[in-house]
Amino acid sequence: MGRKVAIVGTGQTKHKARHSDMNIVELINQAVNRCLENAELTINDIDAILIGNMEHFEGINLSDMWASDASGALGRCGMKITTGGSTGTSLSSAAYYYTASGLFDTVLCVGWQKQNEGDTTAGLVSATDPIWERASFAGAFGTFGGAATQYMMETGLTPEDAAKVAVKNKRHGRLNPYAHLHLDISVDDVLRSPMLAYPIRMLDLCPASEGACAMIMTHEDNVKKVTDKPAWISASVCRHDSAFTGDPPFFLDLRTLRSAAKEAYATADIKDPMKDLDIIELYEPVTWAELSFLEALGIGEGGKVGELLAQGVTSIEGSLPVNLSGGVLCTNPIGATAMCRVAEAAIQIRGEGGERQANHKVNTALATGYGGNWWSDLLILKSSL
């Protein structure tokens, strides 16, 4: 199992459409410095720096190299990790593996993206197979649109059910000062927003953001010296799927997430996720994904997830709040997006959520990352192990 590891600090920039006053390395530096400040550590306490983004959004291929001054990697072990949307959770898992292995004591990971320096959909197209899929690929909304029609048919859930996810997460996002979108919207607003690709409308889809998020992890012998409110990593599971868009069963049964949850629940001793989890930070690139991904986690299966949402169970007042941060629907700097999920889970356990802090004590939090092609990362954090 390796050594026990805890998250002892988090830091993020304000996420927004455009950081025109900061370049890429300055953005990274701000998140790193805020993280060090939160952990009350200095860069000299850090043994390795893991960094990640998706290259074609900025057309930059060696961010680990040219951000080395600003990330603190100069003269240290540094490495870049890129796995698409799940980059931030892959970085989190990797930092955990580094620390748990005993080879590194204290590790900082930072995910970032300046999506509006390039073109989001063009960047996504470049991630697909050039011979088979680039000609017809229509960005996230095309793929999710096709998957959502299938999901609707099988579950009977409607665009109105999906719209309620947007309303909930945007409401949570208004309480998060770091969230990109602070929108006050209704179900009607979602259903009247421009159609991108049926049934995905503008307000069903995540924005394109610029921002960075960082976390510091250290091992059990060190934790007490650093903090009295660690967020321990209880389980960390990664699952890839095969290469082509149409291979996996996708939305109907996100098998990567279902399989990751099964293993993580066993490791973290989660018997009933509805009861044993206090909050969930879910990677929901579109409204529909929050519904179906919760089902894959064993919550509201068979389309019942729509009722849980309507009853407010997953709202901040509910028994199992989902995406108190506002989620991906409010904030999406892709290389940082999945790490924002893990960081928010740690923030909630550390009681640092401010206005968006859960009403009940958070002892067990689940965070996910989602990446193309239908693959999943999952981490479970606990206040004590």
Comparison of 234 and 256: residue with beta carbon closer to other proteins: 256
Compute the least distance from the CB of residue 27 to other proteins, in Å: 9
Compute the least distance from the CB of residue 171 to other proteins, in Å: 25
3-state secondary structure of 280: strand
* Footprint on this chain of other proteins (rule: CB under 8 A): 18-26, 29, 33, 42-43, 56, 58-59, 68-70, 72, 74-75, 114, 117-119, 121-123, 125-126, 129-139, 141-142, 145-150, 153, 194-200, 242-247, 250
Comparison of 31 and 347: residue with beta carbon closer to other proteins: 31
Amino acid at 22: M
Comparison of 211 and 230: residue with beta carbon closer to other proteins: 211
Could you tell me the CA-to-CA distances from 99 to 19, 94, 276 in Å, in that order? 32, 9, 27
Q: Is the peptide bond before 199 cis (omega within 30 degrees of 0)?
A: yes
Compute the least distance from the CB of residue 45 to other proteins, in Å: 11
Label the pairing between strands 48-52 and 77-80: parallel
Contact partners, residue 369, CB within 8 Å, separation at least 6: 85, 86, 87, 88, 89, 90, 92, 283, 337, 338, 341, 342, 376, 377, 378
Comparison of 21 and 228: residue with beta carbon closer to other proteins: 21
Compute the least distance from the CB of residue 12 to other proteins, in Å: 18
Comparison of 11 and 321: residue with beta carbon closer to other proteins: 11
* Matching residue, tokens 């991906």: 328
Label the pairing between strands 279-281 and 364-371: parallel
Compute the least distance from the CB of residue 192 to other proteins, in Å: 15
Compute the least distance from the CB of residue 248 to other proteins, in Å: 9
Rounded distance, CA 381 to CA 29, Å? 26
